Structure 1
Amino acid sequence: MSVADGAAHDPARKLARLGAYFRLTKTDYIVTGLAAPLELVNIMPSLLGVLAHAWAGALAFLMAGFVILLWRGRYPRLVLILLLIHQGLFSPIFYHSLVLPAGMVFDASDFFSIPYIPLFCIIVAVITVGSSSSLWSSILLCIPAVVLSTLIFTAGRPMEASWYVVAAVLWIGGAWAFGRFVGRSTQRINELETEQQRTAAAVAAERALIAAELHDIVSHAVTVMLLHAAGGRRIIEADPVRAAHALDVITTVGSDATNELSRLLGLLKPDNPTTSQKPLPTLDDIDHLIDAVRSAGVDVHLKQTGAPGKLDISVGHTAYRAVQESLTNVSKHVGPGAHATVEITWETSALWIRVMDDGANKSPMPDTDASGYGLLGLKERVQVGGGWIDWGPRGKGFEVQLRLPLAATASGRA
């Protein structure tokens, strides 16, 4: 006998699988425990009056309904169907009629003549179906709940007691509406929790990417510093001028490396960072980026104002990524035929970038992949560099605007 066959015939595993079908949650017990006292209050006048001759049987039959109700969370539709059958059997068993006898009518002046059928079990089951089932399936199950209770209470003549019909619709309809509200609220909470987890994962991935890219820059800076230090030491007596130049390079590169290291604070470094010998693209490479986007059919206009200043490598790379992400979104969400403008404004201590499109030829179909994680990752990158970014609709199109410091400080902010 194979291991799989042994597992199939293992009594303990069979019992475990069987037990899974009957496993209840704390919520199931709490909801049922809260509904039971309400039903007892509802049946008490009848137990002391019209059901006094069979009060024990009626009470036992009522409790059987709450045993069924315990599984409302696991099998909501089946439980509602069973409880409707349970409700329908109450009158034939205890009143010896398919519906309430014609003479048994509601009379508020005679408290102990009030007729009774199970009600709160049905209401709780309807709430559960409304919250966990689709719109139309829940409506289809609620219709017999309204019809059955109406026919029973009106002795099969609903047109002669219209207020019973209104009461049944209000009770069952209200329970269904409350269930829909609970279900939509629960779904929204779950979606928000999932979205937060996905956003956190996207931010963590982007942080890992930034750490890897900055690792390349710092490694390069340290290598250059060591080479210039070794070379300067060898020629310090023979060629002091060249040695002084080597020290100047070490000072500049060391300062740049210190600024880059400050940007690493607060970032999570990946366990196995991937390194690349290819230099990081910066604003100097933006023409190649724009040419590539233009070749995809997007008309891109580049406008630069102000005198270009010296950028830290990481700032230039962030600026490049900002333009890249913005134009990628234009290409993906608007497509060929769109018109985009890239404005780069140089100020004394800051760089402003603005990318906008006209929204022309935008597809009316929703893009299921448009989650916005690219922009969220870009926001993290810009904030690490001490910058500011914002985005949103602009007319029929979309606009991304950001500000970056020209140089980093020890705190990573301008």
Structure 2
Amino acid sequence: MFGRLHSWGRRHPAVVDLLWLTPFLLISFANLELLRSGDAHLIGRDLGPWGFLALAVALVAPMFWMRRHPLAVFTAVSLVSFAQWLAEVQPQFFNLSVLIAMYGVASHCTPRWAVGALLTSELGIFLSLIQSPGDPDGRSFASSSVFVVAIWITGIYTSTRRRYLEGLEERAERAERERDQQARLATAAERARIARELHDVVAHNVSVMIVQADGAGYALGGGNPDTAREAMRTISATGRRALAEMRRMVGVLRADDTAEEYTPQPGLSQLDDLVTRVRSSGLPVDLRVTGIRQALPEGEELTVYRIVQEALTNTLKHGGPGTRATVEMEYGVRELLLRVTDDGRGAAAPRSPDGHGLVGMRERAAVFGGSVDACPRPGGGFQVTARLPVGEPAAG
């Protein structure tokens, strides 16, 4: 409730200022009616109703701008009050605007101006008391000073509190920006890795196409061999140009990988080996494949392999002792459903602040128009679900 009111007040500062000024206006008009009826009077010069109203407006109206210009408002109401003292006019209820303006200076301005506002307010209290009946033991000044200092300390506390909250908000925003930046860096690194791997896969297929096209150009005979040979030459030249262009565009990604061994990328045929290695690491894993196996591009097979690898690696790191994992692959007519589940600690498992494995999974799946969902299971454990499109069923 308080949080909603605070948020509403921050969105409508002018309305809030007008609301808390309303009691000053009402009491001032009430005193004005008493003055007109003769039930109240002003010590010193008789200002009359209009003079009283002008004084009230001069002290209350500037408070509307206190939030935006606290120092100027305090200066204005202090000068009006000093002029009121020179005119020997008794302090009224609306003279409290000086203390409220002092609070505004203490809560919005620098400590130097805050101390200046406090001393000015104390001087005003002293001047108002020496104009009133005598105070031989100084008790009235002491009690009034305690009241003024209490208001001033409240303003200082408000200023300190606001700066503290602003610092927290700034740190939270900076942490959020850094987190987003780390996520973007992780995404860029994962995309670079995907690009390198796709480069290897596609380059291999294009290279095979070139070799086969060259062989077909020499082997074809009969019919119209010249035309067939020319077509094969065109396929060969096109393949070479595509390979050269792809190497030129992606080659920059390999600038720092000159020492990397370009071993063949894993696919679905290596899933059994992956499961065996994970079992030897101490995590029991069951692999289940259902449905009619569909033909997948090599890059998509690599994506499936990497998702399973990352999910099982996370289970090893976060699942805890006694955890079991299950890898399920279900071939449908249009999509491959991949589900990796475990019965480990799930939501209770500690998360690494710099881990971006799930980001990499989603980026890999998105390359082929798929998706990845990862979340704790209601009964405990964790589940990673990936959906990837598939092509036509493999022949034979």
Q: CA deviation at 1:303?
A: 1.9
1:280-359 correspondence to structure 2 within 5 Å: 280-359=265-344
- For residues 35-71 of structure 1, the C-alpha deviation after alignment (integer angstroms, 9 at most, x for no partner) is 8942232133434555999xxxxxxxxxxxxxxxxxx
Distance 1:334 1:113, change over 3 A: closer
The code of the aligned residue for 2:269 comes to D
Query: Are positions 1:200 and 2:184 aligned together?
Result: yes
Identity %: 30
Which of 370, 382, 385 is 2:365 aligned to? 382
Separation of aligned partners in 1, 2:322 and 2:139: 68
Quick check: 2:103–2:152 contact (8 Å CA) kept in 1? no
Aligned amino acid, residue 219 of structure 1: A
Q: Which runs of 5+ in 1 are unaligned?
A: 1-33, 54-105, 128-143, 239-243, 409-414
Distance 1:110 1:334 in 2: 68
CA contact (8 A) 1:325 1:374 kept: yes
Match of 2:75 among 27, 43, 50: 43
Letter in 1 for 2:280: S
Tell me the CA shift for residue 229 of structure 1: 2.1
Which structure features the higher share of helix residues? Answer: 2
Q: Secondary structure at the match of 2:253?
A: coil
Residue in structure 1 matching 2:193, options 209, 212, 220 = 209
Question: Could you tell me whether the CA contact under 8 Å between 2:347 and 2:381 is conserved in 1?
Answer: no
Alpha-carbon distance in structure 2 between the residues aligned to 1:201 and 1:397: 29
User: Quick one: which amino acid aligns to residue 42 of structure 1?
Assistant: F
Partners of 1:299 and 1:158 lie apart in 2 by 82
SS of equivalent residue, structure 1 residue 343: strand
CA distance in structure 2 between the aligned counterparts of 1:157 and 1:296, rounded to whole angstroms:
82
Is the 2:347–2:376 contact (alpha carbons within 8 Å) kept by the matching residues of 1?
Answer: no
Retained in 1: the 8 A contact 2:344–2:382?
yes
Say if 1:158 and 1:324 are closer, same or farther in 2 by CA, change over 3 A: farther
The CA distance in 1 between the partners of 2:186 and 2:289, in whole Å, is: 32
SS at match of 2:387: strand
For structure 2, which runs of at least 5 residues remain unmatched after alignment? 1-65, 127-137, 223-227
Find the aligned partners of 1:219 and 1:374 in 2 and give their Cα distance.
26
Alignment of 1:8-27 (within 5 A): none
Q: Which residue of 1 aligns with 2:391?
A: 407
The residue number in structure 1 matching 2:218 is 234
SS in 1 for 2:158: helix
The alignment's TM-score, normalised by the length of structure 2, stands at 0.58
Deviation per residue, 1:134-187 (Å, 9 max, x gap): xxxxxxxxxx9xx99999989999995686576456534433333333222222
Answer whether contact 1:46 1:116 (CA < 8 A) is retained: no
TM-score for both structures, normalised by structure 1: 0.56
Q: Is the CA contact (8 Å cut-off) linking 2:268 and 2:305 kept in structure 1?
A: yes
Distance 1:375 1:36, change over 3 A: closer
Output the amino acid matched with 1:307.
I
Distance 1:204 1:383, change over 3 A: same
Q: Which structure has the bigger radius of gyration?
A: 2
Match of 2:35? none
Q: Structure 1 residues 365 and 331, CA, compared in 2 at 3 Å: closer, same or farther?
A: closer
- CA gap 1:148/1:331 in 2 versus in 1, 3 angstroms: farther
